[in-house]
Chains A and B, each alone.
Chain A
Amino acid sequence: MDSLIAVRGLGFAPPGKDRQILHNVQLTLAPGEIVLVAGPTGSGKSTLINAVAGVIPAHTGGCLEGEVSFAGRSLLPLSVRERARHIGTVLQNVEVQIFTDRVREEVAFGLENLNVSPERIAAQMGELLAEFGLQSQRDWPIARLSAGQKQRLVLACVLAMDQPVLLLDEPFAYLDRAGAQLLLELLVRRAHGGQAILLVEHRLDLVAAVAHRSYCCAEGTLRPGLPQGVEATTAPVRPAAGPVVLESRILAYGGYPPLPDLTVRAGETVLLKGDNGCGKTTLLKLLCGLLRPAGGSLTILGKDALKQSVAERSRTLGFVLQNPNHQLFADSVAGEVAQPGVAPEFAEQLLEQLNLLPEREQHPQSLSQGQKRRLALAAVLARRPRICLLDEITVGQDPRSLSLMLDALEAFTGKGGALILTSHDPQAASRLGARVVAL
Chain B
Amino acid sequence: MEKSMAQRWQLKDYVFAALMTVGLAVTAKVTQPFASAIPLPGATTIAWAPFAAIFLTLGMARLRRSGAVALMAGVLALILGIISWTISAFLVAALLAAELVGLVSGGFAGKTTRLLANMAFFAATCLSGWFIGVTFLRGTPVGDLAAQWLTQPWVLAPAALVSALAGAVGWWLGEQIVFQLQRAGKLDVAR
Contacts and interface: CB of A to CB of B under 8 A. Distances in A.
Classify chain B's interface size: under 10
Interface string B167-191: 0000000000000100111101000
B12 interface: yes
B12 A59 contact: yes
B12 A363 contact: no
Contact of B184 (A16, A59, A61, A365): A365
A331 interface: yes
A61 B180 CA distance: 20
Contacts of B12: 59
A59 B184 CA distance: 17
Interface in B10-50: 12
A93 interface: no
Interface string A43-83: 00000000000000001010000000000000000000000
A59 B188 CA distance: 12
Classify chain A's interface size: under 10
A89 to B, nearest CB: 16
Contacts of A365: 180, 184, 186
Nearest to B183: A363
A366 interface: yes
A334 to B, nearest CB: 14
Contacts of A363: 180, 183-185
Residue with the highest number of chain A CB atoms closer than 10 Å, among B12, B180, B183: B183
Nearest to B185: A366
Residue with the highest number of chain B CB atoms closer than 10 Å, among A16, A59, A363: A363
Nearest to B179: A331
B47 to A, nearest CB: 24
Contacts of A331: 180, 183
Contacts of B183: 331, 363, 366
Contacts of A366: 183-186
Contacts of A59: 12
Nearest to B11: A81
A16 B184 CA distance: 13
Contacts of B186: 365-366
Interface string A354-381: 0000000001111000000000000000
Nearest to A365: B184
Given A331-B180, A363-B184, A365-B184, 14 more contacts: A16-B185, A59-B12, A61-B188, A331-B183, A363-B180, A363-B183, A363-B185, A364-B184, A365-B180, A365-B186, A366-B183, A366-B184, A366-B185, A366-B186
Interface of A: 16, 59, 61, 331, 363-366
